[in-house]
Chain A
Amino acid sequence: MLEINKLCCNLGERTILQDVSLSLKPGEFLAVLGANGVGKSTLLNCLLGSADITQGTLLWQGCPLERMSRSERARTLALVPQQQEVAFSFSAEQMVLMGRTPHLGAFQSPSQTDLHHARRTLNELGAGHLARCQFNQLSGGERQLVLLARAMLQSESVLLLDEPTNHLDFRNRYHILNTVKQRCREHGTSVIAILHDPNLASMYADQVLMLAQAHTLAYGPSADVMTSQNISQLYGLPTCSHRVMDQEIFMPQSLPPSSATNIAIVTGPSGSGKTTTLMALYAHCQQQKQPVRGILCPGTMRDGRRFSSEIINLADGQRRPFGQRTDELDPITNTRFRFDPHGLALGQQALSPTSHHPDTTWIMDEVGPMELEGQGYGSTLAPLLALPGGKHIWVVRPDLVERVVQRWQLQPAAVIDAADSDALTQLKEFVAL
């Protein structure tokens, strides 16, 4: 059994992994999902011993990995690396044969028996005909098979797959993963695979680890973790799921050309009455018994500038002080506002999709630079957009409208200037649609 406890890994000042824990039983398949550059490969490097661990423990059957010798470790953990050209051309069977390296002494070369093993492994993968071919001349799928065969020859315990489906065509993608899965079942091999396609993960994995910004976003059995909400949040892309033949299929919500225009953007310069208009809309909706969720942040103005603001949870009308202008630039939020922690928590709660109803209108006041960077309430937005049947009204500064539209791949039904005299009418129409 492979166990990772509170693994932390820093590269210089940068935190690559923070408190990542997991455990893997024999025969289990763990998929690691996450956006590019969140430390998935580093996780594998930590296991392989090529990245230094800052904190935490890695255990194989109760024994710390760092206490094992290099070859012992290599006999336990076998890597299927991302494909790359080898500087010198080796034949496929020579490549597979190298999987025996950790089983050989320092001065030893592989024997005839080793060669037989290598050929047999290739045959098992249905790639026996490739044995004499030059590795560099193989196609992507064939190479992946050869590298997989090498890893299988190397270890029966744990396979580490680094993006094994890259560059593979539709058929080969499934062929490789089927082979791996079969290996899990028949030999009790544990697998950790970095995957980029959530659908493949939900098809093959027993467990899923989602990494976001060095942290674990979600970890657990595939069925629990693989929700459109988690995936939307993980990739920052509104994703919905459809059930096809007993299988959840995840898809981005707005695929071009899509006609789903369930969002309106309210814009206008500071002090143009965006929040005021929305407050009026909120009152109107409550009168009409139309469900409204989300947050509004009315502010007090001083010297023509927003001085402080409150936050309102539209679900229950609860209010809290939110932002307070200070003279210093906050290095974290990069604004001149200091935010109240209780206010922040209130917003977080207001924006969680728990009390969703298909007719709900979600108001988000407002989507600013922080959200665009994935901070603030940024990570909550994609899951909200992914909710079925909702309507969304976002407040955005005029200069950010284009970036917001691009970031969440929006196709807004209307971009409404709050200074327009009929702004409220337009919004009412949008809500009533």
Chain B
Amino acid sequence: MTTKVRLCTLWTLGSLLLLALFMGRYEIGVQAIFQSFARLPEVLYCLASRSPLPEDLTPEQQVFLLLRLPRIVLALLIGAGLALSGAVYQGVFRNPLVSPDILGVTSGCVFGAALGLLWPQGGWLWVQACALLFGLAAAFASMTIAARLGQGSLLLLIMTGIIVGSMFSAGLMILKTLADPYGELPAIVFWLMGSLSAASWSNVAQVLPLALFGYALFHLYRYRLNVLCLGDRPSQSLGLDPVKLRYGLIAMASCVVAACVASVGQIAWIGLVIPHMVRTFTGSDHLSLIPLSTLFGGAFLLLSDSFARSAFAVEVPVGIVTSLIGAPLFAYLLFRRQSQGGHHA
């Protein structure tokens, strides 16, 4: 990673973050934002200890601290998590067209969420727990079946992923037909489209530990990921255990994806395309690909979600925004790359 790239990244991220802080349907002045930040530790402490919030918060501070800021943080986290696991999945599967739902994690999550919504008991936490649980179950099922059938062949893993994914998709269809079209069905569709509109600090608390742990792990293993890209036989001759390493990385990446989807629903495009985009201008070296994918994934979802929440009074589904912003951007990058005579992986 050159200094220029680093500076460019930091500058982009910083200005985006600043922009996001000021964007919103509720007008909050610069001063109010600075004052809000001063109150942040106090508010977070109150939320964590489940004690009542300070009485003297102004409405601006409340909106900023309880709605806008958690949403911004969550957007960064989710975008980063999805892009990060996308990069890992693509490296492990040695295929730039792989997205994080290849093992059926996303289908499992959405199925779990739908099941949680239809279950007569339990609140929102229960719904999220179900989503997380079924997402992990899907990944676990695909990996176990593949491991049983053959010694960790990639193709087999993709196939079992398709099998498990379609099982959960079928389950979701059943649940959708059972759902009340004016009761639970809209909530299920909400999950399928993915939205950060209901972001709160508790969401952040749910995603943060797994995302941080996942990132730390991938950061440490990012050089081995390079070697794994060479294929099984070469990486084995270089002293790696490709099968174990692969399963370990996929399991962790699946956890991160499941945590993301369980908290905001399924958000397409980021996990597939952000690593791809980063690769077009920094190359395939995971030493820089892993951190940059993470940063750009976060920045990209932040940008999309800022637009989704503040362009109109109503929410624009964020999946639509990610595609609308991302597709032309990606096309432009490819075009620029091509006209420079560069080579794309």
Contact = CB atoms under 8 A, between A and B. Distances in A.
Best-surrounded residue of A74, A87, A98, A102 (most CB of chain B within 10 A) = A87
A109 B223 CA distance: 6
Contact of B234 (A79, A88, A91, A110): A79
B229 interface: yes
Interface in B80-106: 91, 94-96
A77 interface: yes
B239 interface: yes
Contact of A70 (B220, B230, B239, B344): B239
Given A89-B345, A90-B226, A110-B223, A101 B234 contact: no
Interface string B236-266: 1111110000000000000000000000000
A48 B233 CA distance: 9
A410 to B, nearest CB: 40
A71 interface: yes
Q: Most B CB atoms within 10 A — which of A71, A74, A78, A88?
A: A88
B96 A70 contact: no
Nearest to B230: A86
Interface in A38-88: 45, 48-50, 70-75, 77-79, 81, 84, 86-88
B306 interface: no
Contacts of B94: 87-88
A73 B283 CA distance: 31
B221 A107 contact: yes
B285 to A, nearest CB: 6
Interface string B179-212: 0000000000000000000000000000000000
Contact of B222 (A79, A91, A94, A109): A109
Contact of B230 (A77, A98, A109): A98
Contacts of A101: 223-224, 227, 238-240
B94 to A, nearest CB: 4
Given A74-B239, A106-B224, A108-B223, A91 B233 contact: no
Interface in A125-161: 134, 136-137, 154, 160
Interface string B273-297: 0000001000111010000000000
A94 B239 contact: no
B231 interface: yes
A106 B236 contact: no
A201 to B, nearest CB: 23
B330 to A, nearest CB: 17
Interface centre among A81, A84, A101 (most CB of B within 10 A): A101
Contacts of A137: 343
Nearest to A82: B233
Contact of A102 (B221, B222, B239): B239
Contacts of A104: 223
A88 B96 contact: yes
B345 A98 contact: no
A419 B344 CA distance: 71
23 contacts: A45-B233, A50-B236, A70-B240, A71-B239, A74-B239, A78-B237, A79-B234, A79-B237, A81-B234, A87-B96, A87-B345, A89-B283, A89-B343, A89-B345, A90-B229, A94-B226, A101-B240, A102-B238, A104-B223, A107-B220, A107-B221, A108-B223, A134-B343
A143 to B, nearest CB: 13
B236 A98 contact: no
A48 B236 contact: yes
A191 to B, nearest CB: 15
Contacts of B236: 48-50, 70
B91 A88 contact: yes
The size class of the interface chain A forms with chain B is 35 or more
Interface in A214-266: none
Contacts of A77: 237
Given A79-B233, A94-B285, A109-B287, A87 B241 contact: no
Nearest to B241: A70
A48 B237 contact: yes
Interface in B133-187: none
A245 to B, nearest CB: 37
Nearest to A87: B94
Count chain A CB atoms within 10 A of each CB in B95, B230, B279 and give the residue with the most: B230
A86 to B, nearest CB: 6
A99 interface: yes
The 6 closest A-B pairs by CB, nearest first: A74-B239, A88-B284, A102-B239, A79-B237, A87-B94, A71-B239
Nearest to B242: A50
Contacts of A136: 343, 345
B343 to A, nearest CB: 5
Nearest to B226: A98
Contacts of B344: 89
A79 B234 CA distance: 7
Contacts of A154: 238
A87 B239 contact: no
Contacts of A50: 232-233, 236-237
B252 to A, nearest CB: 14
A72 B231 CA distance: 20
Nearest to B236: A50
Contact of A86 (B222, B223, B229, B237): B229
Given A79-B233, A87-B94, A109-B222, A98 B227 contact: yes
A319 to B, nearest CB: 55
Contacts of B224: 101, 106
Contact of A90 (B95, B241, B285): B285
Nearest to A103: B239
B233 A81 contact: yes
Contacts of A78: 237
A77 B232 CA distance: 16
A74 B234 CA distance: 10
Contact of B238 (A86, A98, A108, A160): A98
A137 B345 CA distance: 10
Given A88-B91, A88-B94, A73 B239 contact: yes
